[in-house]
Structure 1
Amino acid sequence: MGRGRLDLLYLHNPEHGAHGDRSRLLERITQAFTIFEEAAHQGDIAGYGIATWSGFTSGAFTVQDLVTAARRAAGSTRTHLRAIQLPVNLIELTPIAQALHGAGPVAEAAGAGLEVWASAPLSGGELIDLVTSDLAEFIRPGSSQVAATLAVVASTPGLTGALLSASTAAHWQEALNAFQRPAIQLPHLQDICRVLRA
């Protein structure tokens, strides 16, 4: 990669292949975190985290499980565990709805001082076709479907940011503008979640 030090290294989808053996999974996560702690002490990485698609929703692990694993790996309460990454979008709505009530992995990770990154904020582009102009207008009047969709993600309490790709400079600017606008107010976010769950 041409870099002497990585800012953040993710353990990617550790729940895959766990076959329901939660204790074995947590043991494997702790082993990986031990290697990451060593890499951090050697100056190879600044921090590490978990990138998961279904780890939190399936109950494979919790934020507290990860904090505990990191402390065991470090042999201390001072660890290099820095972030979690999980899908947050209008299809994967549960993390947003939970965060609005100070619960779920987004709120728990933020409360533990971790960064929280949303993956797939447009659900791999699927939401571009699913969000109607009427829904976009309800979410944020005057916004495009993409901007309205990203506005909900950007307004999720406790979220650090989102990981997304853009095919053109105009798409990038539209996404950037959506994240730079003021957050959607909490009562309206709750209304949005109610409408989408109906």
Structure 2
Amino acid sequence: MRWFAVLAVCGVLAGCAAPPEAPYASDARVASVAYREPGPATLTVLTMVSNRDGSGGHSALMINGSQRVIFDPAGSFVNDRVPEQEDVLYGVSPAVLKGYKSAHARSTYHVVSQTVEVTPEQAEVALRLAQSNGAVPRAFCTSANTALLRQVPGFESIKSTFFPTKLMEQMASYPGVVEEKYFEDDEGTIVDGIEKLVIAD
């Protein structure tokens, strides 16, 4: 009964519910937009948090290794400027990252980013795991992210959970984590946010 309750809650959360079908981008398209953020390799947990009660609506994992991607399991972010292969968003430039946050943030949700510096080897492990994971079923976003992180050396202590804020709490305990919050006050859903989104070149 407990699992049914968990899935019922997750099924209506922001960003995790009934994700639209994203076209599978070609390898050539993915290669054409490859981007790496300058600086150290990093892992960033992105959590969509309710402004009303502090509950979590969705979680994703941004990986800055040999390239920067967002592992967006069961996510609803679909934009023709951002190629996707099975829940991995490619070409995550600063403009794309801002657009991703903007699409999720609104009067009811804000986005919490928790960034941890890692070795290039750790980042590559995470990138390979994201690329080989495959599409994630609806409501399993945080479960998929914790399962991935547990396989990255140094993150084995991450506990499996279905709840985005539980992962956020675990990440907050990591040494050197840098946390940022992003707010917007527009109305509507993530679908409305994506429709209004403009991602600059």
Tell me the TM-score normalised to structure 1 length: 0.27
Larger-Rg structure: 1
Tell me the TM-score normalised to structure 2 length: 0.27
Structure with the higher fraction of residues in helix conformation: 1
Structure with the higher fraction of residues in strand conformation: 2
